[in-house]
Amino acid sequence: MITGDIVDSTSIPIEKRAGLLECMSSVLDDIKQSYSVSYDYFRGDSIQIVVDNPSDSLVVSILFRVGLRGKTEKILSVMCDVRLSVGIGMTEFLDGNVNVSDGEAFRLSGRALDQMGKSTFCLSTPWEEINEEFGVSLPFVDDIVSGLTTGQASALYYSLLKNLTKKEIASVMGQTSQNVSRF
C-alpha cells in the first residue's frame, strides 16, 4: 500500500491541476502494464496505490516518483514531486474503491505519511528490524531521486519500467544517445 501527496501542491495554479492529474494517471497507467496496481485520488492532491505484490511496492514507488518528475515539467512547466509512504502489512478489506479499503498496510502507510515531515519517501512495516534497516537506506534513495533533473528522471523511468537501451530511451525522449548518456 502506498499513500502519497503532491509536494507544495497549493503553488500549482488551479488551471494546471487537471494536467497534474493527467500526468499522475499517465504514469500509473504505464506502471499498470508491468505491475498489478490499482489507485484512487483523494483530497485533490493525494493518492492511494494498492500494489498486489508487496515486494513490488518500492519499485512502484520509485517509478511513480521518477515518472512524475520526468513528465510534469514538460506538461505543466514545473517539475512536481510527491511524498510517498509505503505500508507493508495485512489488508483486511479490499474494495474496488481503494479509498474505502482497510487494513494494517493502509494504516501504516497513512500514519507514516502524516508523520514524515519534509522527507519524501518512507516505508513502514509491523517489523521493527525491517523499519530500522529501511530507515537507514531509504533516505539515500530519497536524496538521489530528489536530485534528478527532468531528463535524468525520464531516462531512469524508461530504463526501470521498460528496460530500454540508451538508444531506445533517446528515441522515446527525442534526444540523441549521447545526450541520454550525459543524463
Domain ranges in the chain are 2-173
How far lies 146's CA from each of 7, 66, 110, 129, 181, in Å?
A: 11, 9, 21, 26, 20
What would the mean pLDDT of 110-136 be, rounded to a whole number?
Answer: 91
Q: What is the pLDDT of residues 66-91, one digit of tens each?
A: 999 998 888 788 889 999 999 998 77
Q: Which of 39-43, 47-51, 62-66, 112-116 has the highest mean pLDDT?
A: 62-66
* pTM for the structure as a whole: 0.88
CATH 3.90.920 holds for 2-173: no
Q: How many residues does the chain have?
A: 183
Task: Please list, in sequence order, all residues whose beta carbon lies within 8 angstroms of the beta carbon of residue 151, skipping any fewer than 6 positions away.
Answer: 70, 173, 175, 179, 180, 183
Q: What is the mean pLDDT of the chain?
A: 87
| Span 97-122, pLDDT tens digits | 655 566 778 888 888 988 888 889 99
Residue 95 pLDDT > 70, yes or no?
no
Burial label for 31, CB within 10 Å (0-12, 13-18, 19+), is buried
